[in-house]
Amino acid sequence: MPTNDPELADWIRGVAATQDPRVGPNTPVVPLVTRGLATRPVAPEHSQVFICAGVIVKLHGAGTDRDRLTRRLHGIGATDMDRLWIQPLRYAPLPAPNDRLATVWPRVTVLSTIETPPWADVGALLARLHRMPLLDDLPRLGGHSRLARAIAFLRTSGRDDLARLADYGDGLAATLAELPLATLAHGDFHLGQLGHTPLRRSWKLLDVDDFGIGDPAWDLARPAGFWAAGLLDDDAWATFLDAYRAAGGPAVPPDGDPWPALDLPARAAVLVAAVQALRTPNSGEVAAQLLAACARMQTG
Amino acid sequence: MTQPTDPPRYEPYTPQPAAGAMTCPKCGAPMRTYERNGIHLEQCQGCRGVFLDFGELEHLTQFESRFAAQPPAAPGYGPAWGSHGNQRYRRGGFSGLFFSS
Protein backbone atom coordinates (compact mmCIF):
# COMPACT_ATOMS: atom_id res chain seq x y z
CA MET A 1 0.00 0.00 0.00
CA PRO A 2 1.69 3.24 -1.03
CA THR A 3 1.26 6.23 1.21
CA ASN A 4 -1.89 8.17 0.36
CA ASP A 5 -0.22 11.56 0.70
CA PRO A 6 1.43 12.37 -2.66
CA GLU A 7 3.29 15.43 -1.40
CA LEU A 8 4.74 13.50 1.49
CA ALA A 9 5.69 10.64 -0.83
CA ASP A 10 7.50 13.11 -3.12
CA TRP A 11 9.36 14.56 -0.17
CA ILE A 12 10.42 11.09 0.98
CA ARG A 13 11.57 10.21 -2.57
CA GLY A 14 13.65 13.38 -2.63
CA VAL A 15 15.36 12.43 0.62
CA ALA A 16 15.89 8.82 -0.46
CA ALA A 17 17.31 9.91 -3.82
CA THR A 18 20.19 11.67 -2.05
CA GLN A 19 21.37 8.25 -0.88
CA ASP A 20 20.18 5.67 -3.39
CA PRO A 21 20.61 6.44 -7.10
CA ARG A 22 17.90 3.89 -7.96
CA VAL A 23 15.17 6.19 -6.63
CA GLY A 24 13.06 7.75 -9.39
CA PRO A 25 9.79 9.70 -9.57
CA ASN A 26 7.76 6.46 -9.60
CA THR A 27 9.62 4.53 -6.90
CA PRO A 28 7.03 3.26 -4.40
CA VAL A 29 6.99 4.78 -0.92
CA VAL A 30 5.76 1.99 1.33
CA PRO A 31 4.76 2.59 4.96
CA LEU A 32 6.19 0.00 7.32
CA VAL A 33 3.63 -1.26 9.81
CA THR A 34 5.11 -0.77 13.26
CA ARG A 35 1.88 -0.66 15.22
CA GLY A 36 -1.79 -1.15 14.52
CA LEU A 37 -2.56 -2.06 10.93
CA ALA A 38 -1.46 -0.43 7.70
CA THR A 39 -5.04 0.50 6.97
CA ARG A 40 -5.81 1.58 10.52
CA PRO A 41 -2.84 3.27 12.16
CA VAL A 42 -3.21 3.75 15.87
CA ALA A 43 -2.65 7.48 15.99
CA PRO A 44 -1.58 10.06 13.41
CA GLU A 45 0.81 11.75 15.84
CA HIS A 46 2.92 8.59 16.20
CA SER A 47 6.11 8.02 14.29
CA GLN A 48 5.88 6.53 10.81
CA VAL A 49 8.50 4.59 8.91
CA PHE A 50 8.65 4.55 5.10
CA ILE A 51 10.60 2.32 2.74
CA CYS A 52 11.78 3.86 -0.53
CA ALA A 53 14.08 1.62 -2.59
CA GLY A 54 17.11 0.95 -0.35
CA VAL A 55 16.41 3.76 2.11
CA ILE A 56 14.29 4.03 5.23
CA VAL A 57 12.90 7.45 6.11
CA LYS A 58 11.46 7.75 9.59
CA LEU A 59 9.11 10.57 10.49
CA HIS A 60 9.38 10.95 14.23
CA GLY A 61 6.33 11.40 16.41
CA ALA A 62 4.75 14.83 16.80
CA GLY A 63 6.54 16.85 19.46
CA THR A 64 9.86 14.99 19.21
CA ASP A 65 12.59 17.18 20.71
CA ARG A 66 15.20 18.00 18.07
CA ASP A 67 18.05 18.45 20.50
CA ARG A 68 17.43 15.16 22.30
CA LEU A 69 17.05 13.26 19.03
CA THR A 70 20.33 14.73 17.75
CA ARG A 71 22.14 13.76 20.95
CA ARG A 72 20.79 10.22 20.61
CA LEU A 73 21.96 9.99 16.98
CA HIS A 74 25.41 11.15 18.02
CA GLY A 75 25.34 8.60 20.81
CA ILE A 76 24.85 5.63 18.51
CA GLY A 77 27.61 7.04 16.27
CA ALA A 78 30.12 7.04 19.13
CA THR A 79 33.18 4.80 19.10
CA ASP A 80 32.39 1.09 18.73
CA MET A 81 28.64 1.69 18.84
CA ASP A 82 28.44 0.72 15.16
CA ARG A 83 28.92 -2.87 16.31
CA LEU A 84 25.67 -2.66 18.26
CA TRP A 85 23.48 -0.20 16.31
CA ILE A 86 22.48 0.17 12.69
CA GLN A 87 23.96 3.57 11.83
CA PRO A 88 21.88 6.36 10.28
CA LEU A 89 22.87 7.76 6.88
CA ARG A 90 23.14 11.19 8.47
CA TYR A 91 23.61 12.14 12.08
CA ALA A 92 21.29 15.14 12.09
CA PRO A 93 17.49 15.07 11.89
CA LEU A 94 15.89 16.73 8.85
CA PRO A 95 12.91 19.06 9.07
CA ALA A 96 10.02 17.20 7.41
CA PRO A 97 6.52 18.23 6.29
CA ASN A 98 3.87 18.92 8.95
CA ASP A 99 6.41 20.07 11.53
CA ARG A 100 7.92 16.63 11.86
CA LEU A 101 11.53 15.59 12.13
CA ALA A 102 12.91 12.88 9.85
CA THR A 103 15.90 10.59 10.08
CA VAL A 104 17.40 8.58 7.23
CA TRP A 105 18.58 4.98 7.51
CA PRO A 106 19.81 2.18 5.33
CA ARG A 107 17.27 -0.46 4.56
CA VAL A 108 17.96 -3.60 6.57
CA THR A 109 16.58 -7.09 6.89
CA VAL A 110 14.36 -7.30 9.95
CA LEU A 111 13.60 -10.21 12.22
CA SER A 112 10.81 -12.43 10.96
CA THR A 113 7.69 -12.62 13.09
CA ILE A 114 7.31 -16.26 12.05
CA GLU A 115 10.52 -18.03 12.95
CA THR A 116 11.78 -18.57 16.49
CA PRO A 117 13.49 -15.36 17.65
CA PRO A 118 17.27 -15.56 18.24
CA TRP A 119 16.82 -15.07 21.97
CA ALA A 120 20.43 -15.90 22.86
CA ASP A 121 21.82 -13.38 20.36
CA VAL A 122 19.35 -10.80 21.64
CA GLY A 123 20.36 -11.32 25.27
CA ALA A 124 24.05 -11.01 24.42
CA LEU A 125 23.48 -7.91 22.28
CA LEU A 126 21.70 -6.09 25.09
CA ALA A 127 24.37 -7.12 27.60
CA ARG A 128 27.05 -5.64 25.34
CA LEU A 129 25.13 -2.37 25.06
CA HIS A 130 24.66 -2.19 28.83
CA ARG A 131 28.39 -2.72 29.37
CA MET A 132 29.48 0.12 27.08
CA PRO A 133 31.09 3.11 28.77
CA LEU A 134 28.59 5.84 29.67
CA LEU A 135 28.38 8.68 27.18
CA ASP A 136 28.14 12.27 28.28
CA ASP A 137 25.32 14.28 26.94
CA LEU A 138 22.81 11.47 26.38
CA PRO A 139 19.26 12.04 27.63
CA ARG A 140 17.51 9.74 30.07
CA LEU A 141 16.10 6.64 28.39
CA GLY A 142 12.61 7.06 26.99
CA GLY A 143 10.76 4.34 28.86
CA HIS A 144 9.57 6.84 31.42
CA SER A 145 7.97 9.00 28.73
CA ARG A 146 6.25 6.01 27.15
CA LEU A 147 4.79 5.02 30.51
CA ALA A 148 3.56 8.59 31.00
CA ARG A 149 1.89 8.56 27.55
CA ALA A 150 0.19 5.23 28.32
CA ILE A 151 -1.13 6.61 31.63
CA ALA A 152 -2.42 9.73 29.86
CA PHE A 153 -4.34 7.51 27.43
CA LEU A 154 -5.90 5.56 30.30
CA ARG A 155 -7.08 8.85 31.85
CA THR A 156 -8.96 9.74 28.67
CA SER A 157 -10.68 6.35 28.36
CA GLY A 158 -13.66 7.15 30.56
CA ARG A 159 -13.57 3.66 32.07
CA ASP A 160 -13.37 3.25 35.84
CA ASP A 161 -11.10 0.21 35.73
CA LEU A 162 -8.68 1.99 33.40
CA ALA A 163 -8.73 5.12 35.57
CA ARG A 164 -7.72 2.93 38.54
CA LEU A 165 -4.95 1.44 36.41
CA ALA A 166 -3.81 5.00 35.63
CA ASP A 167 -3.60 5.76 39.36
CA TYR A 168 -1.58 2.61 39.83
CA GLY A 169 0.64 3.65 36.91
CA ASP A 170 1.32 7.02 38.54
CA GLY A 171 2.71 5.27 41.60
CA LEU A 172 4.78 2.95 39.44
CA ALA A 173 6.17 5.91 37.45
CA ALA A 174 7.16 7.73 40.64
CA THR A 175 9.08 4.70 41.91
CA LEU A 176 10.72 4.06 38.54
CA ALA A 177 11.86 7.68 38.37
CA GLU A 178 14.08 7.00 41.38
CA LEU A 179 16.02 4.18 39.70
CA PRO A 180 19.68 5.10 39.14
CA LEU A 181 21.03 6.39 35.83
CA ALA A 182 23.32 3.40 35.68
CA THR A 183 24.09 2.38 32.09
CA LEU A 184 23.31 2.98 28.45
CA ALA A 185 20.06 1.34 27.42
CA HIS A 186 17.99 1.07 24.26
CA GLY A 187 14.93 2.37 26.10
CA ASP A 188 12.24 0.64 23.97
CA PHE A 189 13.63 -2.76 23.28
CA HIS A 190 11.45 -5.35 21.58
CA LEU A 191 11.90 -7.85 18.77
CA GLY A 192 10.96 -5.34 16.10
CA GLN A 193 14.07 -3.37 17.00
CA LEU A 194 16.51 -5.79 15.34
CA GLY A 195 17.96 -5.60 11.85
CA HIS A 196 20.99 -6.58 9.85
CA THR A 197 22.54 -5.18 6.71
CA PRO A 198 22.98 -7.33 3.59
CA LEU A 199 26.72 -7.74 4.14
CA ARG A 200 26.98 -8.05 7.93
CA ARG A 201 24.62 -10.71 9.15
CA SER A 202 24.71 -10.15 12.91
CA TRP A 203 21.66 -8.57 14.52
CA LYS A 204 21.96 -4.94 15.52
CA LEU A 205 19.65 -2.49 17.22
CA LEU A 206 17.21 -0.17 15.46
CA ASP A 207 15.24 2.86 16.66
CA VAL A 208 17.13 5.53 18.52
CA ASP A 209 14.06 7.40 19.83
CA ASP A 210 14.25 6.21 23.44
CA PHE A 211 18.00 5.50 23.66
CA GLY A 212 19.61 6.96 26.73
CA ILE A 213 20.94 6.48 30.21
CA GLY A 214 18.99 4.70 32.90
CA ASP A 215 18.32 1.38 34.55
CA PRO A 216 19.23 -1.38 32.06
CA ALA A 217 16.39 -3.51 33.41
CA TRP A 218 14.11 -1.40 31.19
CA ASP A 219 15.49 -3.31 28.19
CA LEU A 220 14.61 -6.67 29.71
CA ALA A 221 11.21 -5.47 30.79
CA ARG A 222 9.17 -6.35 27.72
CA PRO A 223 10.30 -10.02 27.50
CA ALA A 224 10.15 -10.30 31.31
CA GLY A 225 6.68 -8.81 31.51
CA PHE A 226 5.37 -10.90 28.63
CA TRP A 227 6.82 -14.00 30.24
CA ALA A 228 5.18 -13.11 33.54
CA ALA A 229 1.87 -12.43 31.80
CA GLY A 230 1.95 -15.86 30.17
CA LEU A 231 2.61 -14.55 26.65
CA LEU A 232 6.19 -15.79 26.30
CA ASP A 233 7.18 -19.37 27.05
CA ASP A 234 9.66 -20.40 29.72
CA ASP A 235 12.28 -21.72 27.27
CA ALA A 236 12.43 -18.46 25.33
CA TRP A 237 12.66 -16.40 28.50
CA ALA A 238 15.33 -18.66 30.03
CA THR A 239 17.43 -18.63 26.83
CA PHE A 240 17.28 -14.83 26.71
CA LEU A 241 18.08 -14.33 30.39
CA ASP A 242 20.87 -16.95 30.46
CA ALA A 243 22.57 -15.40 27.43
CA TYR A 244 22.26 -11.93 28.96
CA ARG A 245 23.88 -13.15 32.17
CA ALA A 246 26.57 -15.16 30.36
CA ALA A 247 27.56 -11.97 28.50
CA GLY A 248 27.93 -10.11 31.78
CA GLY A 249 24.76 -8.05 31.53
CA PRO A 250 24.49 -5.77 34.57
CA ALA A 251 20.69 -5.44 34.83
CA VAL A 252 20.29 -8.54 36.98
CA PRO A 253 22.56 -10.29 39.48
CA PRO A 254 24.77 -12.95 37.83
CA ASP A 255 22.80 -15.76 39.46
CA GLY A 256 19.87 -16.29 41.77
CA ASP A 257 16.44 -14.73 41.52
CA PRO A 258 16.48 -11.99 38.86
CA TRP A 259 12.97 -10.83 39.62
CA PRO A 260 13.64 -8.14 42.24
CA ALA A 261 15.61 -6.21 39.60
CA LEU A 262 13.03 -6.79 36.89
CA ASP A 263 9.70 -6.43 38.66
CA LEU A 264 9.04 -2.70 38.37
CA PRO A 265 10.14 -2.24 34.75
CA ALA A 266 8.26 -5.44 33.84
CA ARG A 267 5.09 -4.06 35.40
CA ALA A 268 5.55 -0.85 33.43
CA ALA A 269 6.12 -2.81 30.21
CA VAL A 270 2.94 -4.84 30.73
CA LEU A 271 0.91 -1.71 31.47
CA VAL A 272 2.26 0.06 28.37
CA ALA A 273 1.70 -3.03 26.21
CA ALA A 274 -1.86 -3.37 27.55
CA VAL A 275 -2.59 0.21 26.50
CA GLN A 276 -1.08 -0.40 23.10
CA ALA A 277 -3.20 -3.55 22.70
CA LEU A 278 -6.31 -1.59 23.70
CA ARG A 279 -5.55 0.89 20.94
CA THR A 280 -4.87 -1.77 18.30
CA PRO A 281 -7.70 -3.35 16.32
CA ASN A 282 -8.24 -7.10 16.68
CA SER A 283 -5.96 -7.64 19.64
CA GLY A 284 -8.78 -8.85 21.89
CA GLU A 285 -7.30 -11.93 23.58
CA VAL A 286 -3.81 -10.52 24.02
CA ALA A 287 -5.27 -7.28 25.36
CA ALA A 288 -7.41 -9.27 27.78
CA GLN A 289 -4.42 -11.27 29.00
CA LEU A 290 -2.33 -8.13 29.50
CA LEU A 291 -5.17 -6.35 31.30
CA ALA A 292 -5.64 -9.41 33.52
CA ALA A 293 -1.97 -9.18 34.48
CA CYS A 294 -2.48 -5.45 35.19
CA ALA A 295 -5.44 -6.29 37.44
CA ARG A 296 -3.31 -8.79 39.40
CA MET A 297 -0.52 -6.21 39.74
CA GLN A 298 -2.83 -3.76 41.44
CA THR A 299 -3.57 -6.25 44.17
CA GLY A 300 -0.08 -7.59 44.76
CA MET B 1 31.00 12.88 23.49
CA THR B 2 32.89 12.96 20.20
CA GLN B 3 30.53 14.00 17.47
CA PRO B 4 30.28 11.64 14.54
CA THR B 5 30.53 13.87 11.48
CA ASP B 6 31.09 11.48 8.59
CA PRO B 7 27.95 9.56 7.78
CA PRO B 8 28.47 5.87 7.13
CA ARG B 9 28.84 4.92 3.50
CA TYR B 10 25.55 3.97 1.92
CA GLU B 11 25.32 0.23 1.54
CA PRO B 12 22.89 -0.68 -1.23
CA TYR B 13 20.09 -2.98 -0.14
CA THR B 14 20.47 -5.78 -2.68
CA PRO B 15 19.96 -9.11 -0.91
CA GLN B 16 19.94 -11.95 -3.41
CA PRO B 17 16.69 -13.87 -3.22
CA ALA B 18 16.93 -17.64 -3.39
CA ALA B 19 16.24 -19.15 -6.79
CA GLY B 20 12.51 -19.18 -7.39
CA ALA B 21 11.82 -17.00 -4.36
CA MET B 22 9.03 -14.46 -4.47
CA THR B 23 9.45 -10.71 -4.39
CA CYS B 24 7.21 -8.68 -2.09
CA PRO B 25 4.49 -6.98 -4.15
CA LYS B 26 4.45 -4.02 -1.75
CA CYS B 27 8.04 -3.09 -1.10
CA GLY B 28 10.06 -5.20 -3.54
CA ALA B 29 12.21 -7.04 -0.98
CA PRO B 30 12.76 -10.79 -1.28
CA MET B 31 10.32 -13.04 0.52
CA ARG B 32 11.42 -16.07 2.49
CA THR B 33 9.43 -19.28 2.84
CA TYR B 34 8.59 -20.55 6.31
CA GLU B 35 6.77 -23.61 7.48
CA ARG B 36 4.50 -23.04 10.42
CA ASN B 37 2.29 -25.85 11.70
CA GLY B 38 2.62 -27.64 8.39
CA ILE B 39 1.61 -24.57 6.43
CA HIS B 40 3.94 -22.90 3.96
CA LEU B 41 3.91 -19.16 3.91
CA GLU B 42 6.11 -16.43 2.54
CA GLN B 43 7.17 -13.46 4.60
CA CYS B 44 8.83 -10.33 3.27
CA GLN B 45 12.23 -9.67 4.81
CA GLY B 46 11.75 -5.93 4.47
CA CYS B 47 8.23 -5.03 5.56
CA ARG B 48 7.15 -8.34 7.20
CA GLY B 49 4.10 -8.73 4.97
CA VAL B 50 2.90 -12.32 4.63
CA PHE B 51 1.68 -14.17 1.54
CA LEU B 52 -0.61 -17.16 1.98
CA ASP B 53 -1.47 -19.63 -0.75
CA PHE B 54 -5.09 -20.52 -1.47
CA GLY B 55 -6.49 -22.57 1.42
CA GLU B 56 -3.68 -21.80 3.85
CA LEU B 57 -5.64 -19.22 5.80
CA GLU B 58 -8.37 -21.82 6.38
CA HIS B 59 -5.73 -24.31 7.56
CA LEU B 60 -4.41 -21.76 10.04
CA THR B 61 -7.88 -21.02 11.35
CA GLN B 62 -8.57 -24.71 11.89
CA PHE B 63 -5.25 -25.16 13.61
CA GLU B 64 -5.89 -22.27 15.97
CA SER B 65 -9.22 -23.76 17.04
CA ARG B 66 -7.44 -27.00 17.96
CA PHE B 67 -4.71 -25.14 19.78
CA ALA B 68 -3.42 -26.56 23.03
CA ALA B 69 -0.04 -25.81 24.59
CA GLN B 70 2.08 -27.82 26.95
CA PRO B 71 1.63 -26.89 30.61
CA PRO B 72 4.61 -24.76 31.64
CA ALA B 73 7.40 -25.93 33.94
CA ALA B 74 7.92 -22.79 35.97
CA PRO B 75 11.54 -21.85 36.72
CA GLY B 76 10.88 -21.28 40.41
CA TYR B 77 10.64 -17.52 40.54
CA GLY B 78 8.49 -14.77 39.17
CA PRO B 79 6.08 -12.18 40.40
CA ALA B 80 2.92 -12.75 42.38
CA TRP B 81 1.08 -10.95 39.58
CA GLY B 82 2.34 -13.46 37.02
CA SER B 83 0.14 -16.14 35.55
CA HIS B 84 2.36 -19.16 36.08
CA GLY B 85 0.91 -22.50 36.84
CA ASN B 86 -2.70 -21.58 36.33
CA GLN B 87 -3.11 -21.28 32.61
CA ARG B 88 -1.80 -22.18 29.20
CA TYR B 89 0.58 -20.07 27.26
CA ARG B 90 -0.78 -18.38 24.22
CA ARG B 91 1.52 -19.48 21.45
CA GLY B 92 2.12 -16.49 19.26
CA GLY B 93 1.27 -14.18 22.14
CA PHE B 94 4.73 -12.76 21.74
CA SER B 95 3.73 -11.02 18.52
CA GLY B 96 3.17 -8.07 20.85
CA LEU B 97 6.92 -8.16 21.38
CA PHE B 98 7.39 -6.75 17.88
CA PHE B 99 5.81 -3.35 18.31
CA SER B 100 6.51 -0.11 20.07
CA SER B 101 3.94 1.33 22.38
Instruction: Tell me the pLDDT tens digit for each residue of A138-187.
Output: 999 999 999 999 999 999 989 999 999 999 999 999 999 999 889 999 99
User: How far apart (Å, rounded) are the C-alpha atoms in residues A220 and A259?
Assistant: 11
Residue A169's pLDDT is: 97
Share of chain B above pLDDT 70, in %: 72
In-domain check, residue B31 = yes
Share of chain A above pLDDT 90, in %: 79
Nearest to A54 among B2, B12, B78 (CB): B12
Contact assessment for residue A101 and residue A69, using Cβ atoms and an 8 Å cutoff: yes
Nearest to B99 among A34, A227, A259 (CB): A34
Q: Is A88 close to B7, i.e. CB distance below 8 A? A: yes
User: How far apart (Å, rounded) are the C-alpha atoms in residues A185 and A177?
Assistant: 15
Nearest to B10 among A19, A136, A300 (CB): A19
> Would A6-107 and A119-297 be classified into the same CATH topology?
no
In-domain check, residue B41 = yes
Q: Tell me phi and psi for residue A66, to 5 degrees.
A: -60, -45
Span A12-38, mean pLDDT? 86
Q: Which amino acid is at B34?
A: Y
Span B4-31, mean pLDDT? 82
User: pLDDT tens-digit profile of A214-268?
Assistant: 999 999 999 999 999 988 999 999 999 999 999 999 999 999 999 999 999 999 9
Nearest to B46 among A107, A135, A238 (CB): A107
Q: Which residues of B touch A237 (CB under 8 A)?
A: 75
Q: Per-residue pLDDT for A286 more than 90?
A: no
Contact assessment for residue A192 and residue A111, using Cβ atoms and an 8 Å cutoff: yes
Residue A277's pLDDT is: 87
Q: Is A28 close to B27, i.e. CB distance below 8 A? A: yes
* Sheet with A94-96, side-by-side order of all strands: A30-32, A48-52, A55-59, A100-106, A94-96
Q: Is A76 helix (H, G, I), strand (E, B) or coil?
A: helix
Contact assessment for residue A32 and residue A49, using Cβ atoms and an 8 Å cutoff: yes
Q: Which CATH class is domain A119-297?
A: alpha beta
Q: How far is A97 from chain B (nearest CA, A)?
A: 23
User: How far apart (Å, rounded) are the C-alpha atoms in residues A155 and A5?
Assistant: 32
Contact assessment for residue A41 and residue A4, using Cβ atoms and an 8 Å cutoff: no
DSSP states along A134-190: P-TTPPBPTHHHHHHHHHHHHHTS--HHHHHHHHHHHHHHHHHTTS---EEE-SS--
Q: Is B4 close to A77, i.e. CB distance below 8 A? A: yes
User: What CATH number should be reported for the domain whose range is A6-107?
Assistant: 3.30.200
Q: Which residues of B touch A114 (CB under 8 A)?
A: 34, 36, 41, 43, 50
Task: Tell me the C-alpha to C-alpha distance, in Å, between residue A1 and each of A39, A67, A133, B27.
Answer: 9, 33, 42, 9
User: How far apart (Å, rounded) are the C-alpha atoms in residues A123 and A249?
Assistant: 8
Best A76, A112, A210, A259 member to test B by mutation, with max B CBs in 10 Å, is: A112
**Beta-bridge mates of residue A57:** A50, A104
User: pLDDT tens-digit profile of B34-76?
Assistant: 887 778 889 998 888 889 888 888 887 777 666 554 444 566 7
In-domain check, residue B69 = no
Nearest CA in chain A to B11: A106
Q: How far is A195 from chain B (nearest CA, A)?
A: 10
Residue B53's pLDDT is: 83
Q: Length of chain B, please?
A: 101
User: How far apart (Å, rounded) are the C-alpha atoms in residues A20 and A210?
Assistant: 27
In-domain check, residue B26 = yes
In-domain check, residue B54 = yes
Nearest to A300 among B26, B45, B80 (CB): B80
Q: How far is B58 from chain A (nearest CA, A)?
A: 18
In-domain check, residue B74 = no
Q: How far is B56 from chain A (nearest CA, A)?
A: 15
Domain that holds residue B51: 18-61
Other Cβ atoms within 10 Å of A65 Cβ, number: 12
In-domain check, residue B35 = yes
Q: Which amino acid is at A204?
A: K
Q: Is A51 close to B73, i.e. CB distance below 8 A? A: no
Contact assessment for residue A28 and residue B27, using Cβ atoms and an 8 Å cutoff: yes
Q: Where are the domains of chain A?
A: 6-107, 119-297
Q: Per-residue pLDDT for A34 more than 70?
A: no
Contact assessment for residue A73 and residue A87, using Cβ atoms and an 8 Å cutoff: no
Span B3-28, mean pLDDT? 81
In-domain check, residue B37 = yes
Q: Which residues of B touch A32 (CB under 8 A)?
A: 47-48
